[in-house]
Structure 1
Amino acid sequence: MSSVLFILNDAPYGNERAYNGLRLAGAMTARADVQVRVFLMADAVGCAKAGQKVPGGFMLGKVLREGEVALCGTCMDARGLNETDMVEGARGTSPLWAAPLC
């Protein structure tokens, strides 16, 4: 099985970079032969904040159901966020999660 890692840095609002990254990650979950992983860093940790009213095409939920989503714990701390602020299934961790040892 192949693994695809998406690293997002931009805030969820103000431009479409985070949205498009999540949209691509969501589309990749349709492939049974690919493990999809998303790592949210910097302002992108806001993509996983619970309680937001997001557009229907916002794909984080699909990725959470069919892939893995992790957030930079240091980036969360810098923004005053903790795991209880995040959507279910997203977890804070270190950047080492994005680079597993083979």
Structure 2
Amino acid sequence: MNYLFVLHDPPYGTERTYNGIRWARQLLDADPANQVRVFNFADAVVSVTAGQKVPHGFYNLAKMTTALTENGGVIGNCGACMDARGMGDDQLIEGAHRSSMVELAEWTAWADQVINV
């Protein structure tokens, strides 16, 4: 199955993005045939900023999303949302990319299931 996760919330201060990434990773682990794509809107774009430093024992969304891409997941970041937050492409973790509404529309058509978190 093809799954598309659309995330909106910041990486910290709420657990919606954290749980969305956990869920996406579980779908990849559950069946090697599953394909997962994640599209980050609004403050969720910060989730894939490289070099995050969090308190000891706290989850790190950059590491979690890197693990997702290393296992075949694909992550697109809303380009307009990145621009609004002053984020450059060079700030993204490896495996994440600047995306667009055009790509999101293509991914939506590709997906068997769209999960809006």
**Is the structural similarity TM-score above 0.5?**
yes
The residue type paired with residue 90 of structure 1 is A
Moved more, 58-67 or 43-52: 58-67
Aligned to 1:86: 92
Say yes or no: does 1:77 pair with 2:76. no
Q: Quick one: percent identity of the two aligned structures?
A: 43
Q: CA RMSD in A?
A: 1.6
Structure 1 gap segments, 5+ residues each: none
Count, aligned residues: 101
Aligned 1:18-57 pairs, distance under 5 A: 18-30=17-29, 31-54=31-54, 55-56=58-59
**Alpha-carbon distance, 1:82 to partner:** 1.0
User: Quick one: which of 57, 65, 73 aligns to 1:60?
Assistant: 65
Structure-1-length-normalised TM-score: 0.90
Structure with more of its chain in helix, by fraction:
2
Spell out, residue by residue over 1:60-97, the C-alpha distance to the aligned partner (whole angstroms, 9 max, x if none). Answer: 12211121011000000000001101111110010222
Spell out, residue by residue over 1:15-43, the C-alpha distance to the aligned partner (whole angstroms, 9 max, x if none). Answer: 10010001101111112121100001100
What secondary structure does 2:37 align onto? Answer: strand
Q: Is contact 2:50–2:92 with CA below 8 Å preserved after alignment?
A: yes
Which has the higher relative contact order, 1 or 2, with Cα contacts under 8 A spaced 6 or more apart?
2
Distance 1:57 1:24 in 2: 15
Structure-2-length-normalised TM-score: 0.79
What secondary structure does 2:35 align onto? Answer: strand
**Alpha-carbon distance, 1:57 to partner:** 6.9
Q: Stretches of 4+ moved more than 6 A in 1? A: none
What secondary structure does 1:7 align onto? Answer: strand
Aligned 1:3-18 pairs, distance under 5 A: 3-18=2-17
